[in-house]
A = this chain, B = another copy of it.
Amino acid sequence: MHRKIGFIAIVFSSLVFWANGALAQNTSPHLVLTGKEISAIRKDWAAYPVFKKSFLEAKNKVDAVIGNTIDVPVPKDAAGYTHERHKQNYTEMYLAGFLYQVTGEKKYAEFVKKMLLKYADLYPTLKQHPEAASSSPGRLFWQSLNEYNWLIYTSQAYDCVKGTFSIAEQKLIEKNVFRNMAEYFAIERVEEMDLIHNHGTYSCTAVGLAGFILHDTDLVNKALFGSKKDTTAGYIAQLKTLISPSGYYTEGAYYARYELLPLFVLAKAIDNNLPEMKIFKFRDSLFNKVLQATLQQTTINGKFLPLNDGVKDKNYLSPEIMVALDIVYDVYGGEKALLDIAKKQDKVMLSGAGLKVAKALAEIKNIPEFERKSVNYTDGANGDEGGLSILRTGKGIDESMIVYKYTAHGLSHGHYDKLSFSYYDNGDEVIRDYGSARFVNVDQKWGGRYLPENKSFAMQTVAHNTLVVDEKTQFGGKIEVSEKYHPDAYFFSIDNPNCKVTSAKFVDPTNPVKTQRTLALVKITELASPIVIDVIRAESDKIHSYDIPFYYAGDFISSTVKYTANDKSLKPLGKGSGYQHLWNLGEGTVDSSLQVTWLKGNRFYSLTASADSTTSLVFTRIGASDPKYNLRNDPAFIIRNKEKSCVVASVVEPHGLYDSVNEFTQDSYPQIQSVKVLKDGVDFTAVEIQGKNSIDYILIISNNDSSSKSMHNFMLNGISYKWTGQVYFEKHKGD
């Protein structure tokens, strides 16, 4: 608690200092932008192509509307004209404010003033929006989230132009608009402001910026430390709670991207106005870490991993990342590799940071590639609530990537998918996560919101590549339970570049089975491409059904399992927990190693898995119980076992070439032919991988000692295996 109290004390004293020192009017901005930045931009805006382009884009946008009648309509709709008008208004004011500072042209300041005076007329007359969202109503907008954005952008606009306003105009606008709106957020909508959630961050940033504008220490303190100013809520609590010490934002990359904007904008305002807080040094340079972690959570095309309710296709070109990246580049000493991404963004923030990035892009010749690494992020405020591993090998289109999710729940958008994984190769999803069921902003699809099937399917355990016990969703699908528990990191080792491994353990107390999943990305000399090794152990003293779905992307080619296809009639695979959305395409039983081959793009993939006398293979496809045809009809196969304890080891092997232009096919059969669990116990699991061309490997996992320094000696069929560390992976010594 010492640290917290000390911190507040510093803040309070700074605020007092600042509030006294800044009362004099000046025409320089001092909220997010500063006078110094503006001077630099005035001098050099045209000197660096990317800044010039971003600047002219802003100028053209505003110049195109500046002669038009200013419309500040009475709010009516949730997605129609008045909604879009108020959104455009704040964007236009924000840009016009900036342009006034840089060009000194009065017309831009006049534009903002006229518009703000109209808002000063309108805003005090408004009650709740006629189409207000029940849980988070706004006044200008149907939902408060849009209104937070309005205040975030408009505060910055006002900061740029207020010096041109009369004192009376300032007073009127500050009272009717800024105070009015900030108090609406901090009092009536205080519940949302105090949330430890991205909505909370938007609210706190809006209130914080307004507080600085109004020179209102109390508002600023509420924004920073919660409505009770006791540090249990507010911006600082969000920073401490939502982001782990490793930089992982608890909702995953897609929402991290969303969270970064208010986080960074308010941080800049704090840094400008309360420099003593040294906000950018907070938590060991957390702002740098959270950006880096978010950038690592991408595919080779820069798309964010579709963790939790992430929407596929969203990528690091999005404007929020641009803002965060430019500020990190500016604040943390100019890491050149960030420019690799800035180059792709081809746009910079209209600020001193943006100018620096543009300058660097223009002047630095050999920009290094942004390095995509194998990383392990902890989750939770203290970094002890599970985590996320990303294993990578290869560069560019040849990158293979395993994403292993053993995080905590991740707020309201979290999925029940502990110990799930996905696999990318050759630029594509090969074993994929569904992501979220949503068509963003498409009105016909449930108003563009998350679809009902997002909850009934996409969030459920069976929608993911992970173990499903007794066909039930983890924690009974109850968020209040799921938020209490999390898997535990077991080990993560990338010391051996030919065998990168990650392992975690998990017990769901609502259906207790001890589960451990170990995933490895492995290069063996016999194969051109790296393979994935996946070992799932489930221990229980009761018989359970253990389903492991693999949502493969591509066309089914073949299976070694003799199955009966349900090709004349389809029924759902189950009745609930997401199973109602899966068509049962066919099933077969097997008692030794099983194999499924599919084709994705111009490459084949085969999964070879261990099996025993209780194993069956189920072919399935998403799409049942979906009367609005909302779901993607992705295929999957499920490895199903029924026993007390269960170990399934599998290997995914990329192979061959399908060249449909030259009608040339090579190696459509895999090299690996069998995967067997040779031995499994509390201490060790031994897996044998065999195939053509003398492929014969043994993987031994230490199940009860995660130290990288422990020495092990394991006897198997009379042979002694000795090694140091968590896993042994070598050519098989056996006969």
Contact = CB atoms under 8 A, between A and B. Distances in A.
Interface of A: 311-315, 317-319, 439-445, 448, 555-558, 565, 567-572, 583, 585-586, 597, 599, 619, 621, 623-629, 632-633, 635, 658, 660-665, 668-669
20 contacts: A311-B660, A314-B661, A317-B661, A318-B662, A440-B663, A440-B665, A441-B668, A442-B557, A442-B658, A445-B557, A448-B665, A565-B626, A567-B625, A567-B626, A568-B625, A585-B629, A619-B629, A621-B623, A621-B633, A633-B633
Contacts of A628: 565
Nearest to A558: B444
B444 A660 contact: no
Contacts of A623: 621
A331 B555 CA distance: 44
A628 B317 CA distance: 42
Nearest to A316: B661
Nearest to A312: B660
A657 B567 CA distance: 37
A572 B555 CA distance: 21
Contacts of A312: 660
A669 B444 contact: yes
A439 B583 contact: no
How many copies the complex holds: the figure is 2
What does DSSP make chain A's interface, helix, strand, loop or mixed?
A: loop
A624 B315 contact: no
A558 B569 CA distance: 26
Contact of A572 (B568, B627, B662): B568
Contacts of A621: 623, 633
A599 B439 contact: yes
A185 to B, nearest CB: 23
Nearest to A448: B665
Given A442-B557, A585-B629, 16 more contacts: A312-B660, A439-B555, A439-B557, A439-B665, A444-B557, A444-B558, A444-B669, A445-B558, A448-B665, A565-B626, A565-B629, A567-B625, A569-B571, A570-B583, A619-B629, A629-B635
A624 B568 CA distance: 6
A89 to B, nearest CB: 17
Contacts of A569: 569-571
A125 to B, nearest CB: 30
A304 to B, nearest CB: 10
Nearest to A556: B629
Contacts of A442: 557, 599, 658, 665, 668
Nearest to A302: B661
Contact of A444 (B311, B439, B585, B668): B668
A568 to B, nearest CB: 6
Residue from A443, A597, A632 whose CB has the most chain B CB atoms within 10 Å: A443
Contacts of A314: 660-661, 663
Nearest to A630: B556
B633 A663 contact: no
Contacts of A586: 627
